[in-house]
Amino acid sequence: MIQKGFLPLITKLIEIVYAFLWGDLFTIPVMGSSVGISLMLLLLIPAGVCFTIRTRLLPVRLFSDMMKALKEKKETPDSLSSFQTLIISTATRVGMGNLVGVVAAVSLGGAGAVFWMWVTALLGASTAFVEAALAQKYKEPDPLYGGYHGGPAYYIHHFVEAKTGKTLRHSLTASLFAISGLICWCGISQVISNSVASSFQNAFHIPPIYSTVILVVLAAVIVLRKNATVKVLDVLVPIMAACYFLMTVFLIILNLDQLPGVFSRIFSEAFGLRQVAAGGFGAVVMNGVKRGLFSNEAGSGSAPCAAAAANTNHPAAVGLVQALGVFIDTIIICSCTAFIILLVPEEVTAGLAGMDLMQAAMNYHVGGFGVVFIAVILWLFSFSTFIGILFYARSNVAYLFGDNWFSQTAYKVLALIMLFIGGLAAYTFVWDLGDVGVGLMTVFNLAILFPLSGEALASLRDYENTYKKKGL
């Protein structure tokens, strides 16, 4: 009886927290429509605007430096380069949302949503810089895996120690961030396997149990080995991103005459010239903005867990690399999906949404091969995401339980169990738990990011005034 009453109570609590974090706190009337403002939107957009201004338009001004920072070499064999940490963060950013999420944004908000997705990416890049630079500054040696580890839990901990003047074993806020992250990544594990199992069943008629077992076994072989994660992602992520990008380029070349019309639709609908009359301007803006926020992860505190592992000559260089990661995910990968859809005549996709829309678009472009291609790409995106989030988990597990193999392995096994369960059945409250986790991560991370941002900005000034000028 207790168990029967306990689970509904937990589920209800998750729903309440989810609604508080992601639901509309209030609405703003805009041009015959209304824009719902959630807590996440209220936190992330002002943060992006603030950091973009304080870094003096970093995404535009220092774009060339972002590219140069990729060339930095690691100093020790057991550490990671800036480029390798970019690969890890890209692996987790590039996932199902780059396909289904973008499709949803375009189908609900129209072509104009793409423009607002781009704007959100530009703002998020500065936030990504700040949190990555801080993660690099407060990184610690990793006695288990070698190199370094860190992230928000660590710079939050140091901030609290500095404010209290006490040496602490654990900080409450840092611990809450770490717990939220571990909860989030367990929830995401279920979403990943469910998406993969569904896509393979639709494309190849493979029963979910078979695709799930294969997925779990392959994942276990990689994540349960000491340093296999980075080696696999070094190969997998560039291949999958290149394949998807090249497919998009191929489709653009085939439909080159339509490209001016696509851009015309994006910019005209971005400002609701057609949607205002129908009262849909709010949907255009919000679907693009929300997709950008979900996709680039800037401010959530996940990517800094990878950024801290880099062995670099300057913290700001890692920040620039992670800012570039936002561009890769949102400006390139998400745009690829949007172009695939928008290059299809509107009458072909009318009334369709979700993966039905995506599959119809690919079928229009390349026939039956398109369905298979999307299924394989979704598998690669999802698989790399799972491997990447377990890399993120390392530092948070270490912060909570200390540097020991038992706790590291225990969390990996838990995530693999969630991966298996998700492939066979979808539990809504677990999916919501993933969103609750990332929402709480964002709250705890941004609460400290603002007061600590001065240190990241000081690092940026030192990079520009000293490091960059000397050509180091």
Say yes or no to pLDDT of 279 above 70: no
Cα of 198 vs its chain's centroid, Å: 22
Q: Measured between alpha carbons, how far is residue 200 from residues 2, 104, 194, 196 in Å?
A: 39, 20, 10, 6
Over residues 346-363, the pLDDT tens digits come to 787 777 766 677 778 888
Comparing CA positions, the residue from 22, 53, 99, 23 lying closest to residue 300 is 22
Comparing CA positions, the residue from 388, 343, 359 lying closest to residue 111 is 343
Q: Are 223 and 416 in contact (CB under 8 A)?
A: yes
Q: Are 39 and 20 in contact (CB under 8 A)?
A: yes
Percent of the chain at pLDDT exceeding 90: 25
For the chain, the distance separating the N- and C-terminal CA atoms, rounded to the nearest angstrom, is 66
Cα of 171 vs its chain's centroid, Å: 26
Q: Which residues of 330-359 are buried (b: 16+ CB within 10 A; e: fewer)?
A: bbbbbbbbbbbbbbbeeeebeebeebebbb
Which pLDDT belongs to residue 130?
95
Q: Are 227 and 341 in contact (CB under 8 A)?
A: no
Q: Which H, E and C letters describe 77-119, residue by residue?
A: CCCECHHHHHHHHHHHHCCHHHCHHHHHHHHHHCCHHHHHHHH
Calpha distance 454→464 (Å, rounded): 15
Calpha distance 465→329 (Å, rounded): 30
Q: Tokens 């002002």 label which residue?
A: 46
Torsion of CA 127, 131, 133, 138, to 10 degrees: 170
Q: Measured between alpha carbons, how far is residue 136 from residues 29, 72, 321, 328, 356 in Å?
A: 42, 14, 12, 21, 42
Say yes or no to pLDDT of 377 above 80: yes
Q: Quick one: average pLDDT of 121-140?
A: 92
Q: Is 140 helix (H, G, I), strand (E, B) or coil?
A: strand
Higher pLDDT, residue 125 or 431: 125
DSSP 207: -
pLDDT band at 97 (very low <50, low <70, confident <90, very high): low
Which pLDDT belongs to residue 431?
65
* DSSP bridge pairs for 152: none
Which pLDDT belongs to residue 291?
61
pLDDT band at 202 (very low <50, low <70, confident <90, very high): confident
* DSSP bridge pairs for 24: 38
Give me the DSSP letters along 3-61.
HHHHHHHHHHHHHHHHHHHHSEEEEEEETTEEEEEEHHHHHHHHHHHHHHHHTTSHHHH
The three-point CA angle 123-171-298 to 5° equals 15
Please report, as a single letter, which amino acid is at residue 204. Answer: F
Comparing CA positions, the residue from 234, 197, 206 lying closest to residue 379 is 197
Q: What is the mean pLDDT of the chain?
A: 83
Q: Are 52 and 59 in contact (CB under 8 A)?
A: yes
Say yes or no to pLDDT of 289 above 80: no
- Of 4-18, 86-100, 157-171, where does the model show the most confidence? 157-171
Q: Quick one: average pLDDT of 148-160?
A: 94
Q: Are 182 and 418 in contact (CB under 8 A)?
A: no
| Poorest-pLDDT segment among 270-279, 385-394, 423-432 | 270-279
- Element (DSSP H or E) covering residue 149: strand 148-149
* DSSP bridge pairs for 35: 28
Q: Is 148 helix (H, G, I), strand (E, B) or coil?
A: strand
Q: Is 265 helix (H, G, I), strand (E, B) or coil?
A: helix
Q: Measured between alpha carbons, how far is residue 201 from residues 320, 386, 435, 458 in Å?
A: 40, 20, 26, 52
pTM of the model: 0.88
Q: Are 120 and 41 in contact (CB under 8 A)?
A: no
Q: Are 101 and 295 in contact (CB under 8 A)?
A: yes
Q: Are 195 and 426 in contact (CB under 8 A)?
A: no
Calpha distance 256→354 (Å, rounded): 25
- Of 10-14, 29-33, 172-176, 380-384, where does the model show the most confidence? 172-176
Say yes or no to pLDDT of 228 above 90: no
DSSP 96: G
Please report, as a single letter, which amino acid is at residue 282. Answer: G
**Domains of the chain, first to last:** 46-467 (1.20.1740)
Over residues 208-223, the pLDDT tens digits come to 899 889 989 998 988 8
Comparing CA positions, the residue from 335, 302, 316 lying closest to residue 440 is 302
pLDDT band at 449 (very low <50, low <70, confident <90, very high): very high
Q: Which residues contact 408 (CB under 8 A, 6 or more apart)?
A: 144, 394, 397, 398
24-30/33-38 β-pairing = antiparallel
Say yes or no to pLDDT of 427 above 80: no
